[in-house]
Structure 1
Protein backbone atom coordinates (compact mmCIF):
# COMPACT_ATOMS: atom_id res chain seq x y z
CA UNK A 1 0.00 0.00 0.00
CA UNK A 2 1.31 3.46 -0.88
CA UNK A 3 1.94 5.99 1.85
CA UNK A 4 1.86 9.78 1.95
CA UNK A 5 3.60 12.14 4.31
CA UNK A 6 1.53 15.02 5.66
CA UNK A 7 2.33 17.94 7.94
CA UNK A 8 0.03 18.69 10.85
CA UNK A 9 0.23 21.14 13.69
CA UNK A 10 1.58 19.87 16.97
CA UNK A 11 -1.73 20.45 18.77
CA UNK A 12 -3.51 18.31 16.17
CA UNK A 13 -0.85 15.62 16.54
CA UNK A 14 -1.40 15.64 20.31
CA UNK A 15 -5.14 15.16 19.83
CA UNK A 16 -4.61 12.28 17.40
CA UNK A 17 -2.06 10.72 19.73
CA UNK A 18 -4.53 10.89 22.63
CA UNK A 19 -7.16 9.11 20.52
CA UNK A 20 -4.76 6.45 19.28
CA UNK A 21 -4.92 3.06 20.97
CA UNK A 22 -1.80 1.00 21.56
CA UNK A 23 -2.38 -1.32 18.60
CA UNK A 24 -3.52 1.39 16.15
CA UNK A 25 -1.66 3.45 13.61
CA UNK A 26 -2.30 7.13 13.08
CA UNK A 27 -3.88 6.14 9.76
CA UNK A 28 -6.36 3.99 11.69
CA UNK A 29 -7.26 6.92 13.94
CA UNK A 30 -7.74 9.29 11.00
CA UNK A 31 -9.79 6.65 9.18
CA UNK A 32 -12.12 6.22 12.16
CA UNK A 33 -12.58 9.97 12.46
CA UNK A 34 -13.32 10.53 8.78
CA UNK A 35 -15.27 7.49 7.63
CA UNK A 36 -18.96 7.99 7.17
CA UNK A 37 -21.03 6.21 9.71
CA UNK A 38 -24.71 5.57 9.90
CA UNK A 39 -26.38 8.16 12.08
CA UNK A 40 -27.36 6.89 15.48
CA UNK A 41 -30.58 8.26 16.95
CA UNK A 42 -28.88 8.41 20.33
CA UNK A 43 -26.64 11.15 18.95
CA UNK A 44 -29.69 13.37 18.67
CA UNK A 45 -31.36 12.48 21.96
CA UNK A 46 -32.06 15.61 23.98
CA UNK A 47 -30.98 18.05 21.26
CA UNK A 48 -34.33 19.83 21.33
CA UNK A 49 -34.81 19.51 25.09
CA UNK A 50 -35.00 23.26 25.74
CA UNK A 51 -36.20 24.23 22.27
CA UNK A 52 -38.99 26.76 22.00
CA UNK A 53 -40.26 24.93 18.90
CA UNK A 54 -40.69 21.66 20.82
CA UNK A 55 -42.63 23.44 23.57
CA UNK A 56 -44.95 24.95 20.95
CA UNK A 57 -45.43 21.57 19.26
CA UNK A 58 -46.25 19.93 22.59
CA UNK A 59 -48.81 22.67 23.34
CA UNK A 60 -50.41 22.22 19.90
CA UNK A 61 -50.64 18.46 20.44
CA UNK A 62 -52.31 18.98 23.82
CA UNK A 63 -54.84 21.36 22.23
CA UNK A 64 -55.61 18.87 19.43
CA UNK A 65 -56.06 16.03 21.92
CA UNK A 66 -58.34 18.17 24.08
CA UNK A 67 -60.48 19.21 21.11
CA UNK A 68 -60.72 15.58 19.98
CA UNK A 69 -61.75 14.55 23.49
CA UNK A 70 -64.46 17.22 23.58
CA UNK A 71 -65.92 16.11 20.22
CA UNK A 72 -66.31 12.50 21.32
CA UNK A 73 -68.14 13.31 24.56
Structure 2
Protein backbone atom coordinates (compact mmCIF):
# COMPACT_ATOMS: atom_id res chain seq x y z
CA UNK A 1 0.00 0.00 0.00
CA UNK A 2 2.89 2.38 0.71
CA UNK A 3 5.14 1.30 -2.14
CA UNK A 4 4.73 4.67 -3.87
CA UNK A 5 6.05 6.52 -0.80
CA UNK A 6 9.69 7.51 -0.46
CA UNK A 7 11.79 5.22 1.73
CA UNK A 8 11.83 7.80 4.55
CA UNK A 9 8.04 8.12 4.48
CA UNK A 10 7.64 4.33 4.60
CA UNK A 11 10.00 4.19 7.58
CA UNK A 12 7.97 6.90 9.33
CA UNK A 13 4.70 5.04 8.78
CA UNK A 14 6.28 1.79 9.99
CA UNK A 15 7.54 3.55 13.13
CA UNK A 16 4.09 5.09 13.64
CA UNK A 17 2.53 1.63 13.40
CA UNK A 18 5.03 0.36 15.97
CA UNK A 19 4.15 3.25 18.30
CA UNK A 20 0.45 2.51 17.83
CA UNK A 21 0.96 -1.14 18.72
CA UNK A 22 3.13 -0.34 21.75
CA UNK A 23 0.40 1.90 23.14
CA UNK A 24 -2.38 -0.58 22.47
CA UNK A 25 -4.22 1.79 20.15
CA UNK A 26 -6.37 0.48 17.32
CA UNK A 27 -5.75 3.26 14.79
CA UNK A 28 -2.77 5.31 13.68
CA UNK A 29 -3.35 8.95 14.56
CA UNK A 30 -1.40 12.13 14.07
CA UNK A 31 0.30 11.61 17.43
CA UNK A 32 1.66 8.26 16.22
CA UNK A 33 2.86 9.81 12.97
CA UNK A 34 4.69 12.54 14.88
CA UNK A 35 6.33 9.90 17.06
CA UNK A 36 7.23 8.03 13.87
CA UNK A 37 8.87 11.17 12.48
CA UNK A 38 10.85 11.54 15.69
CA UNK A 39 12.46 8.15 15.07
CA UNK A 40 14.49 9.82 12.29
CA UNK A 41 17.36 11.92 13.72
CA UNK A 42 17.49 14.00 10.54
CA UNK A 43 13.83 14.90 10.88
CA UNK A 44 14.35 15.84 14.52
CA UNK A 45 17.17 18.21 13.53
CA UNK A 46 15.02 19.70 10.76
CA UNK A 47 12.10 20.25 13.13
CA UNK A 48 14.41 21.94 15.61
CA UNK A 49 15.67 24.31 12.93
CA UNK A 50 12.17 24.98 11.62
CA UNK A 51 10.69 25.68 15.05
CA UNK A 52 13.34 28.33 15.65
CA UNK A 53 11.66 30.49 13.01
CA UNK A 54 8.65 31.21 15.22
CA UNK A 55 8.61 34.12 17.64
CA UNK A 56 8.32 33.31 21.31
CA UNK A 57 4.73 34.34 22.04
CA UNK A 58 2.65 34.49 25.14
CA UNK A 59 -1.10 34.51 24.75
CA UNK A 60 -3.27 33.81 21.72
CA UNK A 61 -2.03 34.61 18.21
CA UNK A 62 -3.30 37.83 16.67
CA UNK A 63 -4.80 38.33 13.23
CA UNK A 64 -2.72 40.25 10.72
CA UNK A 65 -5.33 43.03 10.78
CA UNK A 66 -4.76 43.52 14.52
CA UNK A 67 -1.12 44.63 14.09
**TM-score, shorter chain, exceeding 0.5:** no
- Provide the TM-score with structure 1 as the length reference: 0.27
Higher alpha-carbon Rg: 1
